[in-house]
Structure 1
Amino acid sequence: MLKKLQQHALESPGKVGLIDKLGKHNYKEIYNRSLNLSSKLHTLLSAHPKRGTEGDPSLKRIITLTDSDSSHALSQYASWGNRAVTIPLSVKATPTEIDYFVNDSQADLIVSQPHYSERISNLNVPIYYIGKDDLTSKAASSSQFAHNSSEDDCLVVYTSGTTGKPKGCMHKHRSVQAQIETLVDYWGWSASDKILNVLPMHHVHGLINVMNCSLWSGATCELRETFKVQDTWEALLRDRSHEDALTLFMAVPTIYYSLIKHYHDQKLDKSLVHSRLSHFRLMVAGSASLPGPTLEEWQSISGQRLLERYGMTEIGMGISNPLYGSRIQGHMGYALPGVKCALRDLESGEIFWDSETAENKLSSGREGELYIKSPCMFDRYINKPEASRETFTEDGWFKTGDCAIVNQIDEKSGMFKHLGRLSQDIIKKGGYKLSALEIEGTILEHPSVSEIVVVGIPDDKHGQEVAAIILFHKSTTSQDELLKTIQDHCKKVLSSYKIPRVWKVVEEIPKNAIGKVVKKDIVKLF
């Protein structure tokens, strides 16, 4: 990344790389400011001994707690410029959570901004507060970045904590570069692209797929501190002649849902919206399952068939629908170049489908746990050697914990359909294994349903019972009547054993910082 940044600064110094609340920042400015910040961090790091011993003892670790603006990019480059590991945290993290991350990661330094001081001032670790001068300085730096090896640790991204305490996934420079190069090539990135980021920067979706792919490509990334529906619509609807007219947009399904709702509530001009959005080169949805109604409604509004993909903190992106070709709702797509996939039988534990040896053979709709081998793979969970060992097979397959099948689409095999997390979305009721995602998708087809989450809850008779929390669209009909309508609908479209037996009507579906539903928390509601 540092060599790419230097290359863009030399070859296209005046090209705008980032846009944020402070204005536009060209590649020369980004490079020089990163060097300046790197030099300041080096002085601080040199004055303090390394806290931990896990991993390479010569590499220090730097937590970044910054807004989603140019400070985030500069902090990343400045960390790597010190041959250090960067650890981005959510700006919504509480003092208790930050304390956990600092101690778990054995951080040597925190890079933040003054308005976060109350959350971090009591921690026993040095802090550097980024000032306005760091973000606006025009001066060229005389310092140089340290050399990084491809085998150096470089990035810790914490998991969402959907199955327990968040685990820090350690990536090396080679795996981060592999992630970026794969997506840049597969999704057709170029220096002419302009993308709006409304996603958190502590997770791979916003951090890698959006910002780092953009900066690697010499493109322009416009950063927003948070998603605001009106603000986002204004950016999406810029005239194609506008100098900042966007070509790319990536978001989570809940954001597309909010955009659709605003479109209808505000009665936006249908012709204008379709005209402006249909010119986008690509729109991507990920980080959570994309409901069929959202996909179809967005395509009707915008002319854009959203590209679904599959990734994890541990592997980056592993599977994607094609840039050109059929994009099938509910399907994650095909294995990305260089990625190998396998399916393990849920009962016997045997691998019955393996892309290494059966590239064009189908699994005949047979369900299995998805295994992956990829150059984008993380190295380990920090400070958790047992968990690291358990997540890999002896021959190097990563156990994703996700259930999938392989289908044939348009005479081509190997398109994966996601059935859900084994620990959350596969409900074991009596002798049945039920896909919560299938049940959710079927119920969402009813026009009165806004959102639904299906989970398995403990049951003495069946082991688990199917339960659902449901959010209805605004209506003059009572919630009891609406629920009765949905229950009648389920009897027509679902086998009896798949129908939720326990229902809870809510005003809002709880989600985490990146828009994911944490199902273990949903179960507690019952």
Structure 2
Amino acid sequence: MELLDNYMPQTSFSSYEEFAEKFKINVPENFDFARDIVDQWAQLEPEKKALVYCDDNGFERTFTFTEVSERSKRMAQYFVSLGIGPGDRVITLLRRRWEYWIIAVALHRMGAVLVPASIQLTTKDISYRIDSAEAKMLIAIDDEFVRAQIAPLKDQCETLHHILIVGDSPVTDYHDFNNEYPEFDLYDQPVNRTNDDEMVIYFTSGTSGYPKMAIHNRTYPLGHITTAKYMQRVLNNGLHLTQADSGWAKFGWGNIYGQWICGTAIFGYDPIRFDAGHFLETIQKHRPTTICVPPTMYRLMLHHGIEAKQFESVTWFATAGEPLSDEVNREWKSITGQDIHVGFGQSEGSPICCTFEWLEVRPGSMGRPSPLYDVRILAADGGYCDAGEEGEIVIIPAEKQVGLLSKYSLNKEQFQPLQGGVYHTGDIAYKDTDGYFYYVCRNDDMIKSSGYRIGPYEIESVLNTHPAVKESAIVGVPDEIRGQLICAIIVLHDGFAPSAELTKELQAHVKKNTAPYKYPRVVKYFHDIPKTTSGKIMRKDLKKLAESID
């Protein structure tokens, strides 16, 4: 049995062209992820696996859809007892704890609004999110850093009624989540919510100022059928791994919605910090069938050393979050025999472009557009770009469109994401004559130096091929003459040390392998590059560091 058939008139396609033409999602009236997916799987296949969870401390636990259904009903009733109701917003700081999956389903079940957040946030960040969302409840892991950040919040945030702590030890200063919710009966009330009501909110950063809220309605999970079935190629009764912190939209992309609709179990691996060796051991032990991790993680695994036998169970490798260098993909394929397939998108929606199964993996390309969206490249003059011309990726409203945010909110004012009927991504790209898209950079990451517009990705890809370079990142730093200078942040492999000679060698390496004007005039050596818990480079933080260090 596949629930996917309930939402798609056709699921198999012989070519990308047929996929683009005939792909369609049937959106039912008042779609309810908890009841229509989780409860339905529990009824159809009571022992079907939903979640395989483990951490680096040896704790392992497997949950069936029946268990997820039952626990989420108890949690929903518990939340009701705390005064949480339909439309109320709840912020979570849960990393990848197994409780996140159950809490998310419980909130969806009762019509409350899930607002995931990263455990890296400080008090100021969390307070801003609570106030902006007017959140009534905060659910956080029992972690020393997180506890220190949330301690002042009850006095600072007027709307915050409850703080719940999720952990393995008794809690006395806040609600003890794990010991309180199991005492409650099962929630069985019908929820009076429509497809247009809020379901999930992600905070997204712009080029300046505070992050805004990207608000998704209750059809959002259906948009991620494309993610799971066609970008990640998950298998019904398979085991899918997307390594991402629950505070980021990438978690929603790869760890719950489309995957459960398609019937795969989620592999919830929850280390405190990413370690390539532990990660490889865990993969070999639990044998996931499909994997989607950021390019940085693929690169770190290659640096650690991989063998084909570690990935014998894997039928499909995917990536998203950052551009994938051709060097990493070539080396990965030489060892495993498989390509890494790229997906591109944002917190505001589901994948915009992908290297779908019918497409060849072209160096530097992120594939072709998802059939859910009418994707174009917009020139500065308002027209659409020809092949080879750089411009902004935009989405034109289309009949098939599902999964794109319904609205934004900033300073408690809601506004539409469309500008003149068009959704602007803020990402720069170009396409070739066959319609393959190539990512350049975020519009705000574009470096403008001496009249040139320079994207960081190409330079990083070149630097990462040098034998001394473990990691690199490119940012622009202010310069009175050129406007900005290209600044390379370098993390060296063991056995290499910063020196003037190495700096000149790296600069010459870039000049030799790309346009000479793109070489970094400034080179700085760091011990590590700041990243999110999902392995994505935090470019804003890196730029501030680069500007502050002489």
Q: TM-score range by the shorter chain?
A: 0.7 to 0.9
Q: What corresponds to 1:248 in structure 2? A: 290
So what's the TM-score if we normalise by structure 1?
A: 0.85
Shift of 1:477: 6.3
Q: What corresponds to 2:169 in structure 1? A: none
Q: Distance in 1 between matches of 2:453 and 2:218?
A: 40
Give secondary structure in 1 for the equivalent of 2:367: strand
Q: What corresponds to 1:40 in structure 2? A: 78
Shift of 1:279: 4.2
Point out the more displaced range, 165-174 or 123-132.
123-132
| Residue 163 (structure 2) pairs with residue 127 (structure 1) | yes
Q: What corresponds to 1:200 in structure 2? A: 245
**Residues 96-495 of structure 1 correspond to what in structure 2 (within 5 A)?**
96-115=124-143, 117-124=147-154, 125=160, 126-130=162-166, 131-132=177-178, 141=186, 143-144=188-189, 146-159=191-204, 163-174=208-219, 176-187=220-231, 188-226=233-271, 227-238=274-285, 244-263=286-305, 273-346=307-380, 348=381, 350-353=382-385, 363-373=386-396, 374-384=401-411, 388-389=415-416, 392-395=418-421, 397-408=422-433, 413-424=434-445, 426-476=446-496, 479-495=499-515
Pair 223,179 (structure 1): closer, same or farther in 2 beyond 3 Å: same
Shift of 1:386: 7.3
Q: Distance in 2 between matches of 1:107 and 1:218?
A: 32
Pair 502,63 (structure 1): closer, same or farther in 2 beyond 3 Å: same
Pair 93,14 (structure 1): closer, same or farther in 2 beyond 3 Å: same
Shift of 1:97: 1.9
Q: Distance in 1 between matches of 2:132 and 2:279?
A: 36
| Residue 47 (structure 2) pairs with residue 14 (structure 1) | yes
Q: Distance in 2 between matches of 1:449 and 1:67?
A: 30
1:298-330 Cα deviation digits (max 9, x unpaired):
222322211111011112321111124311232
1:422-444 Cα deviation digits (max 9, x unpaired):
111x2222332222222222333
Shift of 1:387: 8.6
Structure 2 contact 234–240 (Cα < 8 Å) conserved: no
Aligned residue pairs: how many? 483
Shift of 1:212: 2.5
Shift of 1:508: 1.5
1:235-292 Cα deviation digits (max 9, x unpaired):
2224xxxxx43101111122112212222xxxx6xxxx31342541111111112223
Q: What corresponds to 1:506 in structure 2? A: 526
So what's the TM-score if we normalise by structure 2?
A: 0.81
Shift of 1:388: 4.2
Shift of 1:142: 6.0
Q: Percent identity?
A: 24
Q: Distance in 1 between matches of 2:142 and 2:345?
A: 34
Structure 1: unaligned runs, 5 residues or longer: 51-57, 239-243, 354-362
2:69 to 7, 28, 31: 31
Structure 2 contact 235–289 (Cα < 8 Å) conserved: no
Shift of 1:170: 0.7
Structure 1 contact 80–154 (Cα < 8 Å) conserved: yes
Pair 133,308 (structure 1): closer, same or farther in 2 beyond 3 Å: same
Q: Distance in 1 between matches of 2:205 and 2:331?
A: 29
Q: Distance in 2 between matches of 1:255 and 1:17?
A: 25
Q: Distance in 1 between matches of 2:348 and 2:450?
A: 33
Q: What corresponds to 1:360 in structure 2? A: none
Point out the more displaced range, 177-186 or 102-111.
177-186
Structure 2: unaligned runs, 5 residues or longer: 1-32, 54-58, 155-159, 167-176
Point out the more displaced range, 71-80 or 143-152.
143-152
Q: Distance in 2 between matches of 1:493 and 1:22?
A: 47
Q: Distance in 2 between matches of 1:5 and 1:23?
A: 18
Point out the more displaced range, 219-228 or 11-20.
219-228
Letter in 2 for 1:235: T
Pair 523,383 (structure 1): closer, same or farther in 2 beyond 3 Å: closer
RMSD after superposition = 2.6
Shift of 1:486: 1.6
Give secondary structure in 1 for the equivalent of 2:76: helix
Letter in 1 for 2:529: I
Letter in 2 for 1:443: L
Pair 4,429 (structure 1): closer, same or farther in 2 beyond 3 Å: same
Structure 1 contact 19–25 (Cα < 8 Å) conserved: yes
Q: What corresponds to 2:14 in structure 1? A: none
Give secondary structure in 2 for the equivalent of 1:312: coil
Structure 1 contact 80–148 (Cα < 8 Å) conserved: no
Letter in 2 for 1:456: G
